[in-house]
Amino acid sequence: MPIEITMPRLSDTMEEGTLIKWRVKEGDAVKSGDVLADVETDKATMELQAFDDGKIAKIVAPEGETLPVGGLICVLAEEGENVDEVAKSAGSGASSTKKAQGESKAASSESSTATAVAEPPPPEVSPGAPTAKTTSSGNIKVSPVARKIAEERGVDISRIHGTGPDGRIIKRDVLAAGEVPAPGSSNGNFTKTQSSSAAPKPTPVKLESKLIPVTNMRKTIARRLLESKTTIPHFTVTVNVNADPLLELRSIINKQLESQGVKLSVNDFVVRAAAMSLVHHPLCNTSWTDHGIQQHGTVNVGVAVALPAEKGGGLVVPVLHDTQNVSLRDISAETKRLAKKARETGLTADEMSGGTFTISNLGMFGVDHFEAIINPPQAAILAVGGANEKPVVRNGQVVVGHEMACTLSADHRVIDGAMAAELLQTLKELLENPAAMVV
């Protein structure tokens, strides 16, 4: 019988996806694992893969069309079936299928025989053949971003050797193929001085003016942040933490665990401290609802992860479930696993859902202090700055020490100022006496 391939749900916030580019055409034979199309979701641009063998009998969704989750994308004919008959049958049902899609954007995608996965990060550049690799059907293997750049710059992708996975042409391959060094330029910044009496003249900098299309992910981020700032009465409270004891204990533990390949980060301690603090202050581990304040029975800490530009940028928040019962070592391992998966292949809906509290850490970028926007329906988010060296007062003396600013953004409908202050007080005590988090 015909195999229907529909738009899968790839995150808890995803309602629709846009079919960016078809990699196959009607009549092509495909096998399980073959890439059928590029799909843009609210999180990133993903590859739609087949999980059944067959032939493309009918392409229902054209390039550029946005479909709700569960919307019909294409139909496969199984081995032994007449492709023309399957295509005719699919064509007669296409209009009714699209009508059903319009009536319910939340249609389930569990029956889909395809799923979408993000492209893995490119390996190091290595020399190879001068021409592009192609699929069995003759299509050139090229990422959507690389194809778009090539079209804009007039670069012939058939003459490019791809350095991506399995020879796929990626963004940097197209940029390298289109590079033309400026005559007389030096390091791309200043023209070479021709006379010792003449001052160096900077090379004119040209900036591109263009309208950047908004991806589904950016639309979702914009919608949720606007909703948060306009519907949630934010207020912020900040404490400065003496980070010297934390950094000292972290150094000792990491040295002891180095042979086991374990390396704890400052953020691992912050996650552990936040979970323990919320156990002591359960009214901060809550959500506002129309029926009352929902106090959660477990602490599920979300850790904000920034995606690289080649993945479309944006932010995802993988969730560590039952964090109050997780050790520092396990927090470190799970956080690393989820962050790596978020940047390489994308997270599942379960891995991004159920959060009751979020931590956003920009300290690794050298940021001293910032305020974060609450991630609804949660009632609070913790913004963590860097544990930076600075003049501090210790025992009445000005000395050099490390301080770290922790700022809580709270929903004032749920959390009062005193409650927020008490939560941060407990957090500060734990971070300044980190041995309590190890036992």
The residue with tokens 């009445």 is 396
DSSP, residue by residue, 243-273: -HHHHHHHHHHHHHHGGGT----HHHHHHHH
* Cα 41 from Cα 48, distance rounded (Å): 11
* Cα 214 from Cα 212, distance rounded (Å): 6
Rounded to 5 degrees, what are φ and ψ at 76? -105, 145
Q: How many CB atoms lie within 10 A of CB 435?
A: 10
The residue with tokens 């009465």 is 233
Environment class of 95 (CB within 10 Å of its CB; exposed 0-12, middle 13-18, buried 19+) = exposed
Can you tell me whether residue 231 is helix, strand or coil?
helix
Environment class of 317 (CB within 10 Å of its CB; exposed 0-12, middle 13-18, buried 19+) = buried
- Beta strands 301-303 and 357-361: pairing type? parallel
Tokens standing for residue 360: 């956003």
* Cα 294 from Cα 272, distance rounded (Å): 23
- What residue ranges in 333-425 does DSSP mark as E strands? 357-361, 380-384, 388-394, 397-411
* Cα 238 from Cα 264, distance rounded (Å): 25
Tokens standing for residue 278: 């919320």
412 belongs to the catalytic site: yes
* Cα 333 from Cα 327, distance rounded (Å): 10
Active-site residue among 296, 321, 369, 412? 412
* Cα 266 from Cα 309, distance rounded (Å): 25
Cα atoms found within 13 Å of the Cα of residue 91, Cβ hemisphere only:
10
Q: How far is CA 15 from the centre of its chain?
A: 17
Q: Are 401 and 392 in contact (CB under 8 A)?
A: yes
Q: What is the rounded (10 degree) CA torsion for 274, 279, 284, 286?
A: 110
Catalytic residues: 412
